[in-house]
Each structure stands twice: as C-alpha cells, then as structure tokens.
C-alpha cells in the first residue's frame, strides 16, 4: 500500500499525473451507443494567446463539469482548439518583420502567409501547453484550429450557402477602421479607453445674417471639414427658427443646412450637433435619413485627403486638429475650449484610435437568422445562467444589424467569390475554378479580402465534429451540452453560434450557457498588463500548485458575478490541500498494512454517534454539491466541500475518533477507521473535479489494486444510512459544550498542558444523558480533568462560566492560572488597547482626514476601531470574571 510523504509537494505530483492520464488515454472520447454523451466545446483561445486569469477561471469551470460527468458515467468529450485570430496574428508577424527592418509589402501574399504559418507553428501552441499545466482534461487528439482543412471546408460551405440564399452581399457602409492594420474591425476588436481631452465650442455663422449663428461642441474639430449639416432636436425651442436655414462652415467656407432630427441630445454641449456622415456611425444614419452629402476626408491610414481642402491633405489627425484650431481662433469662430473626459475607441491590436470610415465591405443579412435564435432562448430550449443575460441577448437580437464579415488582411479564410476579368462573370464557389464557366477564360480573380475571424468561430460546435460531412461524431455529440463563456461575447459568439446551429444543423448548438464574471483586482479594477495588476497564472501554479489555484478561484467565484481576486484566497486553497493531505496521512497511519479499503459498509458496522453524524454530514454535502453544480453555483459547491472537509471531518470527526484509534477496543477502532476511510474516499471523489492532482495522488493510497484511478471512478452516491438524522442535535450539543470549554481556556490563558476541572449544571435529563454518554470526547477534546454533570450544582468561587442552551458550564480557575498575575496582565492590555483606540478615534473625528484620505484608508481605520472595541469588551469581561 502506498504511503504518503510527510509534506505535500505539488511539483512532484501534478506533471506526473497529467502525463499518466494522457498515456492512459483517459481524456479521449469515441461515440459509444451504451453511454449518454456529454459534450463541451472549449471557447477557442487566440493562437497568439498566453494563459490569463480569465482563462484559469473559464477552463477550471469547464473542467469541473467535464470531470464530474466523466465520473457519472457519461461519454464525455471536451473538444479543444485555437482560433487563428486574424488581426492579432498578422499584427504579431508584421511587428516581428519591422524589428528586422522589413515590411509585409515586400512579400507576395503567398510568401507572407508562409511566414505566418511558420510563426504559428513556432509560437501557436504555447497556451495549449499552459492549459495542460492547469490540469484541463480535453481530448487533445481532437484538437482543432480554425484554419485547418476541415474547418476551412465548413467555412466555405456556409459562405456559399448564404450567398446562394441571398444573405451575403457587398455594400457600402460605415465601419470601424484601423488606420494601422488598414482593415475593418468588429465592435469586439474595439477597446474603449477613457481619454482626457477637450470640447471645442465652434460658431457656425448663418448665411443670411452672419451676426447670428449656431455654436456646436465637438471633441474632434478636424472632422468638421467633412460636415454635411448641423442638426438640432425638432422640439428644441432655442433653435426652431434655424431649422431649414443655411450655415457657413468655418475654415472650409462651405454652405451646410440646419436639419431637425430627434436623435440629437439637447443636454449635450450646446444642443446643436455637427453631422459628419462619413466619420461617425450615428451621423451616418442621420445622413441617410436626410439624404445628406457623404464627404470622406481621410485616407485609409487616417491622414487627410484632398476632400479636406487645400493645406490639410496628408496631415495626420493630430496635425490637422492643431492647424484647424489655430484657423478657428484667427477667424474668431472658436467660442471656448473645455476640458473633457470621454471614451475613445481604440484598435485592440494596433492600440491607436479607430476611424469610423465608409467603405465597401461584405455583409451578412441577419434579421431572418435572428428570429429563430430569439425563439429558442426565450422558450427555454437554451438556458442562460444567470438568466439576467436573456434580456441583454434579446436587446441585441431585436435590434440586430447586418454583419460586416470582410477584413482587409491576408491571414484568414479568403472570401470565396471569384470574378472573370474577361466577361465579368462573378460567383461564390466551393472549389477554386481554373477557368470561367461562362466564357472559358482563365483570367479568374478571387476577392482579396478575408473573412472576419468570428465567421469561423460561429460554426465551432459542429464544424469541429466534421460538418458538412455527416459523421458519426456529429450524430452522437451534437447538440453539445454546456457552454462556459464570458458575457461580453454574447452577441459576437454565443448568439451567432445559435443562429448557425439552427440554420445549418436544424438544431440548437448547446443546451446551457453559463456566463462567468470578470476577474478584477482587490480594488475592483479590471486586470490588465498596463496596470500591472494581473498575476501570471503560471507563477501562481509554481508557487501554490494548480489545485490550490483552481480551488482558490472557485471559492471566490459567485455565480455570474465579477470576482475580486486576492492572492490570499489562493493561499487558502493551498492551506486546504495541506489540511486534506495531513488528515489523509493520519487516517492511513492508523490502518493495518493489509487493510481492505472497499470492505467498509456503514450498514454492517456498530456505528457510534460521531460516525452516524459524519455520515449524515457527508450525505447532505453530496446532495448540496450535486444541487449547486447543477445550478452552476461553483463557489457554493466548493464551499460545501471546504466546510465539510475542514470543519466537520478534520477539525471534529478526526479529533473525536482519536481516543478510539488509540484505545484498547478493536471493534471501536475498526468502526471509526472504516467510517474515516469511507468518508475520506468520498471527499476525494467530490473534490476531484476541483483539485484533480492531489485527489488522484491520495486516492492511490486509499484504493484497492483492482480499483480504477479516481479520474475514471464513480461519482459519490448518497449513503442513505438510517439514523443519521437523529445524531445532529446530540452532536451539536456536544460540540457546543467542547467549544465553550475551549473558549474559556483560551480567553483565560489556561496553559495547554494543564487539564481543567469542569462542572456542567442544569439542562434536561436528555441533555445530561448525552453529555455523560460522551464524556470521553469532552475530556479528550477540551483537556478536561474531572467532569461533573448534574441538574443542581453551585458555581465554584473564582471560576469562569459559559452558557450553552440551558446548561451552565463552570471552569474553576484556582490552580490553573495565577489569578493576580492574570489580572495585572489584563489591566495592562486594556490600558494599552485604550490608548491605541483613542488615537484611532481622534483620527476618525478629524474632518480633514475624512475628507482627504482615500475611501479605503478611511474604511480601514473604521474597521480597526470596531475590532479594537470588540477586543476591549472581551478583555474587560475576562477581568470582571476574575474580579468576581
């Protein structure tokens, strides 16, 4: 039988077991008609990605669900993969080229793509290796990549089908534009940053009477060169007389109309809004409604073009802003400048402000695709947890706009639309043509753009299973079961996967969606590299172990809420692992060498009250863990296991049975050991999905040779033992009495080596009977010498007292402590604490401190005051006991 070392060292366990599980093919799944499938698709991380705390949270949650299902007997498939991350990957490669003094423009498309594939092959697997360090049990033999051959085939099939159906078209719209990557961006690729800028108030004179005019307020004066109108709210009394009149656009000296539109916010700025249809998405809508001219003043790199006017062409946005402000001052058109804090959209990859830009792009019509996707969520076919996200989902889909799917990149799925240069024939095809089907010409050109990365991701639940081919995998594993993801991609990914599943599979892609919260630092700030508040998960694994990281995160992960990360919680996880390890060692050290770990049957043993009590607690814990995991309350399930293991099993049950372990009655030792082993084995199984490594290591020492590894063992069954419910009240009384005696000993600083005499007075006959029956436990756990339990007892002189229910507990102090010495110690401690408390109170009574100090500092002082007051009350109460 394997012995456990004295200390638990994760570094000696985790890699060893991961390799063992992999070698034994435990993660692998195949369609099995004798089992029900349980399928989870990993949200594919970017191939450029590195492990973050968000990945730790998301993948730990998935692993818990998968490992539990595997133990419950399902044929589990957790399918892994990575996303080609079009912009991110191409940006990384181009950055690498710039370091070498080169540019993408020096390469042909084919040669550049070879560089990207080489880069992907060198660096693309980093996050997968890091996920393995975390212990995730994905079927790595099925790992997919959004640009691999099978998924590319699925992407092309979907494009052609939608094209043939009339859902894909090419049109001119305003899009998010990255002036560095020179491509359209999705909203998800735009990061909004708070910027300290200015609000320029500019006067636009009235053509018929230049002494009059309208003053507008803008954060981007350079865009006024592309203005087509000034809009006011139709109900704004200040400007009713201006509607329909003509203004002179300063600097450009062009005539523009005043229009009325209900979009205008009368409270912002002056209530008059400059309209630049080509460079603001809201202005674009207004421009369309009012048939305004669309004037594009920017090149693709965000320098100004010839439409901006003489003197501005080729200037950057910043240069143009400075110049135009000077000209406005010279003309007397600049009314005032205000400091203004606002949010500006930045390209996620290039980290520069985006430029809304009108350009020709490929789009998917979304309205018809959205209708069935709304229905399946609202009628409960797909469940959201927390369900508050249904409202967000509905809002997006009820106001859905067509999806811009084209990107001006080289890395990605190239749009499969081909044009004949000879005769103008054009079509979307599943296979590349070598000649024109209309005229036979070989002058065929494929569209240069690639598809938005999300266009491959929205097919993930079925393309990874072999679609469009009718595979056995697709038939068996689809639809999948649980999706775990962040709520910020409800629209970009979740909603689109639902649409795609219904459109191309005729069925939902998954049954449940669990939305995680964001991980924030202790101050509530979102974690980021720039703030330096985001720990490296691999560093945490090296220091604490993967199990401690996983379990610590689960303890602070309330359902769907943001998580305030504190490294102390990972220490709690590590301490819990050590506690479990030490408890396991104690149990194993007290078993015979040839002990049969499977033979214990609670129904065939002579169980005592503590045994029945711990089995009852195990029973309720299994029920609660099952219930909480079913409802995706992972932190509640983790807390169930933590409280039961640490408090009930380690702190109470193991302490209670020590006297039986060391006693002379073999039958009593057998029943206590059997119960302890039975409970420990079930704890390991309950904990395994949360902390797979340590549970597998201990399991090897508490299993028979013919039993499987814990990873493929059975999930705990509820014992269903008669009589366990009746022990709760008895054990609560016993534990309360022991705790009361321990508290008295602690507060009165009774040395641990001294046994205390205890008198228990009052109560009813049942209570006294229970305590007399369990006298050995009171003596052992509370270090009691003589113990007297009677209905009528007088309180001895110089004794400390406590009350438990209707029982009075007396501990005579004479002979246990030096009373005069203890009184002097207490008085000194009270005096010292009162001085410190006075200083804290003075600080909190100082208005300057309250007004100027940060809120968390003030709260810290208030908490300190409360803690000191509580300690002072306790010290005075202890002194009063001695004075009495």
Neighbouring CB atoms inside 10 A of 565's CB total 22
Of 776, 554, 753, nearest in space to 664 by CA: 776
Domain-embedded: residue 830: yes
Helix axes 53-71, 609-630, angle to 10 degrees: 120
pLDDT > 70 in the chain, percent: 99
Domain boundary residue, one of 796, 817, 838: 817
Largest Cα–Cα separation, the chain:
115
**Strand-pair partners of 761:** 790, 808
Residue pair 258/229 in contact by the 8 Å Cβ criterion: yes
What is the domain count for the chain? 4
Mean pLDDT of 669-683: 93
Q: What's the pLDDT at 884?
A: 64
Domain-embedded: residue 484: no
One domain for residues 598 and 688: yes
Q: How far is Cα 429 from Cα 417, in angstroms, rounded to an integer? A: 7
pLDDT digits 0-9 by tens, 127-176: 999 999 999 999 999 999 999 999 999 999 999 999 999 999 999 989 99
pLDDT for residue 530 is more than 70: no
Decide which of 47 and 511 is more confident.
511
Domain-embedded: residue 709: yes
Domain boundary residue, one of 328, 351, 374: 351
pLDDT digits 0-9 by tens, 536-573: 999 999 999 999 999 999 998 887 788 888 888 899 99
What CATH number does residue 858 fall under? 1.10.287
Mean pLDDT of 98-120: 93
Residue at token pair 């290796």: 129
Domain-embedded: residue 829: yes
Neighbouring CB atoms inside 10 A of 857's CB total 11
What are the distances in angstroms from CA 686 to CA 15, 573, 696, 735, 880? 22, 15, 12, 25, 48
Domain-embedded: residue 168: no
pLDDT for residue 368 is more than 90: yes
pLDDT digits 0-9 by tens, 615-625: 999 999 999 99
Q: What's the pLDDT at 868?
A: 86
Burial group, residue 275, by CB count within 10 angstroms (0-12, 13-18, 19+) = buried
pLDDT for residue 842 is more than 70: yes
What CATH number does residue 205 fall under? 3.90.740.10
Q: Is the dihedral of CA 628, 631, 634, 635 positive or negative?
A: negative
One domain for residues 711 and 632: yes
* pTM (predicted TM-score): 0.87
What CATH number does residue 770 fall under? 3.30.2320.20
Domain-embedded: residue 223: yes
Q: How far is Cα 445 from Cα 429, in angstroms, rounded to an integer? A: 12
Q: What's the pLDDT at 78?
A: 98
Q: How far is Cα 798 from Cα 878, in angstroms, rounded to an integer? A: 12
Domain-embedded: residue 233: yes
Mean pLDDT of 363-389: 97
pLDDT digits 0-9 by tens, 725-746: 788 899 999 999 999 999 889 8
Mean pLDDT of 488-501: 94
pLDDT for residue 676 is more than 60: yes
One domain for residues 670 and 545: yes
Q: What's the pLDDT at 529?
A: 58
One domain for residues 740 and 837: no
pLDDT for residue 465 is more than 90: yes
∠ CA 725-730-735, rounded to 5°: 120
What CATH number does residue 712 fall under? 1.10.730.10
pLDDT for residue 822 is more than 80: no
Mean pLDDT of 103-131: 92
Residue pair 596/670 in contact by the 8 Å Cβ criterion: no
Q: What's the pLDDT at 360?
A: 93
Residue pair 459/500 in contact by the 8 Å Cβ criterion: yes
Task: For 567, list phi and psi in degrees, rounded to 5.
Answer: -60, -25
Q: What's the pLDDT at 704?
A: 86
Q: pLDDT class for 713, splitting at 50, 70, 90? A: very high
Q: Of the given ranges (34-48, 215-229, 302-316, 342-356), which has the lowest mean pLDDT?
A: 342-356
One domain for residues 336 and 211: yes
Q: Of the given ranges (80-84, 263-267, 310-314, 595-599), which has the lowest mean pLDDT?
A: 595-599
One domain for residues 207 and 339: yes
One domain for residues 830 and 851: yes
Q: What's the pLDDT at 531?
A: 64
Q: What's the pLDDT at 818?
A: 75
What number of residues does the chain have? 884
Decide which of 21 and 836 is more confident.
21
Q: What's the pLDDT at 81?
A: 96
pLDDT for residue 627 is more than 90: yes
One domain for residues 541 and 612: yes
Of 76, 65, 75, 187, nearest in space to 514 by CA: 65
Residue pair 279/268 in contact by the 8 Å Cβ criterion: no
Q: pLDDT class for 59, splitting at 50, 70, 90? A: very high
pLDDT for residue 479 is more than 60: yes
pLDDT for residue 798 is more than 90: no
One domain for residues 265 and 191: yes
Domain-embedded: residue 363: no
Residue pair 509/536 in contact by the 8 Å Cβ criterion: no
Decide which of 875 and 728 is more confident.
728
Q: How far is Cα 758 from Cα 748, in angstroms, rounded to an integer? A: 14
Q: How far is Cα 455 from Cα 369, in angstroms, rounded to an integer? A: 14
Q: Residue 711 sits in which domain range?
A: 537-722
Residue pair 570/684 in contact by the 8 Å Cβ criterion: no
Q: Of the given ranges (551-565, 705-719, 820-834), which has the lowest mean pLDDT?
A: 820-834
∠ CA 262-265-329, rounded to 5°: 120
Mean pLDDT of 425-434: 96
Mean pLDDT of 770-795: 92
pLDDT for residue 590 is more than 90: no
Of 200, 203, 304, nearest in space to 250 by CA: 203
Mean pLDDT of 660-680: 91
Burial group, residue 5, by CB count within 10 angstroms (0-12, 13-18, 19+) = exposed
One domain for residues 263 and 317: yes
Domain boundary residue, one of 351, 369, 401: 351
Residue pair 458/502 in contact by the 8 Å Cβ criterion: no
Q: What's the pLDDT at 599?
A: 72
∠ CA 387-392-397, rounded to 5°: 120
**Strand-pair partners of 216:** 202
pLDDT for residue 1 is more than 60: no
One domain for residues 553 and 569: yes
What are the distances in angstroms from CA 307 to CA 184, 223, 285, 314? 21, 11, 21, 11
One domain for residues 211 and 331: yes
Q: How far is Cα 17 from Cα 78, in angstroms, rounded to an integer? A: 19
Mean pLDDT of 765-788: 93
Q: What is the mean pLDDT of the chain?
A: 92
């Amino acid at each position: 039988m394997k012995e456990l070392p004295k200390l638990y060292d994760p570094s000696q366990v985790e890699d060893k077991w991961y390799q063992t599980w992999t070698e034994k093919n435990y993660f692998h799944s195949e369609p099995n008609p004798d089992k029900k499938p349980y399928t989870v698709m990993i949200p594919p991380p970017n191939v450029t990605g590195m492990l973050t705390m968000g990945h730790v949270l998301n993948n730990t949650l998935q692993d818990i669900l998968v490992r539990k299902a595997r133990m419950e007997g399902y044929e589990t498939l957790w399918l892994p993969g990575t996303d080609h991350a079009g912009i991110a990957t191409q940006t990384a490669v181009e950055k690498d080229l710039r370091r070498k003094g080169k540019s993408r423009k020096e390469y042909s498309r084919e040669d550049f793509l070879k560089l990207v594939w080489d880069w992907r092959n060198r660096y693309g697997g980093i996050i997968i290796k890091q996920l393995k360090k975390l212990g995730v049990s994905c079927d790595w033999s099925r790992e997919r990549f959004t640009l691999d051959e099978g998924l590319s085939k699925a992407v092309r099939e979907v494009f052609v089908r939608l094209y043939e159906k009339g859902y894909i078209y090419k049109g001119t719209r305003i899009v998010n534009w990255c002036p560095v990557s020179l491509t359209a961006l999705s909203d998800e690729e735009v990061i909004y940053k708070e910027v300290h800028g200015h609000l320029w108030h500019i006067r636009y004179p009235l053509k018929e009477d230049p002494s009059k005019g309208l003053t507008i307020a803008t954060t981007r004066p350079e865009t006024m060169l592309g203005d087509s109108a000034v809009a006011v709210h139709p109900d704004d009394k200040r400007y009713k007389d201006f509607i329909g009149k003509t203004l002179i656009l300063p600097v450009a000296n062009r005539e523009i109309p005043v229009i009325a539109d209900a979009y205008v916010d009368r409270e912002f700025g002056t209530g008059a809004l400059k309209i630049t249809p080509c460079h603001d998405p809201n202005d674009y809508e207004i421009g369309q409604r009012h048939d305004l001219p669309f004037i594009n003043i920017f090149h693709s790199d965000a320098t100004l073009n010839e439409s901006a006017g003489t003197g501005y062409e080729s200037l950057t946005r910043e240069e143009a802003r400075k110049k135009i402000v000077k000209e406005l001052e010279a003309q007397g058109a600049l009314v005032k400048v205000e400091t203004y804090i606002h949010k500006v959209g930045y390209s996620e990859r290039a980290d520069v402000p985006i430029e809304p830009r009108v350009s020709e792009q490929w789009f998917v019509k979304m309205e018809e695709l959205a209708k069935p996707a709304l229905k399946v969520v609202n009628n409960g076919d797909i469940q959201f947890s927390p369900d508050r996200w249904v409202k967000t989902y509905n809002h997006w889909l009820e106001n859905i706009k067509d999806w811009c799917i084209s990107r001006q990149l080289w890395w990605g799925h190239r749009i499969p639309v081909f044009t004949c240069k000879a005769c103008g024939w054009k079509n979307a095809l599943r296979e590349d043509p070598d000649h024109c089907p209309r005229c036979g010409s070989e002058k065929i050109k494929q569209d240069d753009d690639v598809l938005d990365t999300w266009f491959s991701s929205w097919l993930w639940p079925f393309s990874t299973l072999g679609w469009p081919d009718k595979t056995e995998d697709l038939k068996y594993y689809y639809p999948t079961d649980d999706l775990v993801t962040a709520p910020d991609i409800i629209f970009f990914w979740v909603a689109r996967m639902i649409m795609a599943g219904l459109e191309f599979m005729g069925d939902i892609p998954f049954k449940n969606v669990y939305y995680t919260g964001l991980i924030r630092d202790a101050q509530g700030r979102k974690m980021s590299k720039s703030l330096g508040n985001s720990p490296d998960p691999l560093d945490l694994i090296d220091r604490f172990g993967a199990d401690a990281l996983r379990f610590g995160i689960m303890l602070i992960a309330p359902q769907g809420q943001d998580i305030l990360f504190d490294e102390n919680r990972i220490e709690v996880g590590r301490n819990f692992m050590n506690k479990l390890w030490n408890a396991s060692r104690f149990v194993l050290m007290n078993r015979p060498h040839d002990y049969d770990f499977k033979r214990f049957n609670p129904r065939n043993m002579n169980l005592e009250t503590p045994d029945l009590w711990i089995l009852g607690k195990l029973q309720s814990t299994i029920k609660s863990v099952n219930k909480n995991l079913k409802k995706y309350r992972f932190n509640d399930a983790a807390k169930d296991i933590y409280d039961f293991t640490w408090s009930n099993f380690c702190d109470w049950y193991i302490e209670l049975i020590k006297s039986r372990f060391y006693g002379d009655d073999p039958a009593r030792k057998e029943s206590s050991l059997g119960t302890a082993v039975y409970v420990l084995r079930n704890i390991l199984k309950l904990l395994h999905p949360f902390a797979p490594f340590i549970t597998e290591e201990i399991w090897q020492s508490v299993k028979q040779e013919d039993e499987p590894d814990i990873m493929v063992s059975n999930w705990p069954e509820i014992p269903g033992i008669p009589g366990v419910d009746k022990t709760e009240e008895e054990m609560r009384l016993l534990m309360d009495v022991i705790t009361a005696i321990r508290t008295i000993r602690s507060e009165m600083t009774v040395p641990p080596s001294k046994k205390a005499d205890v008198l228990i007075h009052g109560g009813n006959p049942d209570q006294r009977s229970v305590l007399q029956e369990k006298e050995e436990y009171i003596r052992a756990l509370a270090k009691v010498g003589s113990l007297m339990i009677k209905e009528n007892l007088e309180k001895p002189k110089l004794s400390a007292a406590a009350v438990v229910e209707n029982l009075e507990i007396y501990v005579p102090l004479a002979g246990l402590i030096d009373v005069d010495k203890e009184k002097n110690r207490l008085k000194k401690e009270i005096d010292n604490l009162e001085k410190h408390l006075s200083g804290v109170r003075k600080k909190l009574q100082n208005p300057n401190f309250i007004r100027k100090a940060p809120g968390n500092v003030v709260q810290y002082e208030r908490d300190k005051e409360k803690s000191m007051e509580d300690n002072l009350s306790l010290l005075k109460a202890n002194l009063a006991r001695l004075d009495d």
